Amino acid sequence: MKTVITYGTYDLFHYGHLCLLKRAKALGDYLIVAVSTDEFNEIKHKKCVYPYEERAAIVKAIKYVDEVIPESSWDQKVSDVLDHHVDIFVMGDDWRGDFDFLGEHCEVVYLPRTPDISSTEIKDDIRGGKGII
């Protein structure tokens, strides 16, 4: 059995998130998604629309996801990989190279993002009054 892990905030869940999770799951048998906690988002200077519990529940409901864990710090990735016996670490390719250090513990894969969609752009469109919602 191959275990895959990925990380993210998953605020304003959208089609790009779904595509990333589907492609991550296709790489293995068991997909763990680490969703960033509200406290960790504060450290990253990120403001979410939905609290951690709701974001985690949405992600857990996706059929490709087998387990959701909290992401509480930048430094937990090595211990997560070791503790969960992860075979493949997956991130979007905008992070290319940032997690190569995990290569001594597992395979590191950077997947292309879905073009023309991001939570940041959605939030900007809403704030700018472009009539999205």
Give the CB-side neighbour count of residue 3, counting CA atoms within 13 A.
Answer: 15
CA dihedral 21, 79, 57, 126 (to 10 degrees): -70
Find the catalytic residue in 22, 44, 47, 60. 44
- Using DSSP, state whether 23 is helix, strand or coil: helix
Find the catalytic residue in 22, 25, 46, 77. 46
* 46 tagged catalytic: yes
CB of 59 closer than 8 Å to CB of 65: yes
* 44 tagged catalytic: yes
Cα distance between residue 119 and residue 94, in whole Å: 14
Catalytic residues, by residue number, are 44, 46
